[in-house]
Amino acid sequence: MATLGIDENRFLVKKASTENITGKWEEVVNEMVKTCREHLGNRLISVYVGGSVAHGEAVDVKSDIDLYAITDLNDEKIKEAQNSWVNSEMDRLNKLYPFQRGAEINLFFIDKLPEGKKLQMKVFATRVWGKDFDLELPPIRLDKETCGRVRLSMERDIDIAREKLETASDVKEIKKIGFEIAKRLIRSAGMMCMWRADFYTMETDKLVDMFISFYPDKEKEMRNLYEFEKYPPSDKGDILAMFDSFGEWLMEEDRKIFG
């Protein structure tokens, strides 16, 4: 996901554009949009694509495709869709286009858009089909309030990861959980200091360096967490031990900063 600059009023400057989605990446995006339209029909309002693909920075094997489908389906209907077709379609797309890391189809209820998703739509993503919400969404200022409003819940993420680890049986599944939770924790940790920096990023390597500049005494722990993302552990015990040590510290520091 790209790094953004800020203007003279500290508002984030958007770089994502449909013009950046080209070649084989455009082919995958078009297929994902087609899938959403076929399954959702007139319940689909808009489709956005974010991350490195929307910024023209996608890299084979390393980059995934984040697609946000804005719908008029409530939470219960979205869960039904997830089980009935979304998961199987993502599997199909990943087999059909193996050069990308993962094609993610995320459904959202128009009346309950998370603050973090609004931020991504406004500055990190671009509309590829349907209604354009850009003019309706307010500009995003890089400050403590924004970071506190859009940050991920580390406690929730860790609880979910613990639940997944309880039933995880094979190495591939354990590594996937380790990768996902490491990435989310690094991004959450970045929110604790990003409002004091002069740019906004979700790129984990830059977030690690940013975090260490504000918390030099936690360099070892943060670099170990970054290793979890690059080389996910195959032993679930390693992940659980991280939760009980650095994870606990991160959650406590998050509470001190944001309340």
- For residues 103 and 158, state if they share a domain: no
- For residues 117 and 154, state if they share a domain: no
Domain C-terminal end among 130, 156, 177: 130
Whether 221 and 249 have beta carbons less than 8 Å apart is answered as: yes
At 114 the pLDDT is 87
Does residue 136 lie in a domain region?
A: no
Whether 134 and 122 have beta carbons less than 8 Å apart is answered as: yes
At 27 the pLDDT is 97
- Mean pLDDT, the chain, as a whole number? 93
Strand 200-201 relative to strand 3-4, pairing: antiparallel
Does residue 116 lie in a domain region?
A: yes
Does residue 137 lie in a domain region?
A: no
Q: With the C-alpha atoms ordered 154, 156, 159, 163, is the resulting torsion angle positive or negative?
A: negative
pTM of the entire predicted model: 0.75
- For residues 161 and 191, state if they share a domain: yes
Q: Print the domain residue range for 105.
A: 3-130
- For residues 12 and 85, state if they share a domain: yes
Least confident range from 61-65, 67-71, 87-91, 94-98: namely: 61-65
Domain C-terminal end among 80, 105, 130: 130
Strands (DSSP E) along 79-185, which ranges? 103-109, 125-130
Q: Taking residues 60-77, report their average pLDDT.
A: 93
CA nearest neighbour of 190 among 242, 60, 182, 71: 182
Provide DSSP, 7-73: -TTSBBPP---GGG--HHHHHHHHHHHHHHHHHHGGGEEEEEEEHHHHTT---TTT--EEEEEEES-
Does residue 56 lie in a domain region?
A: yes
Q: How confident is the model at residue 123 (pLDDT cuts 50, 70, 90)?
A: confident
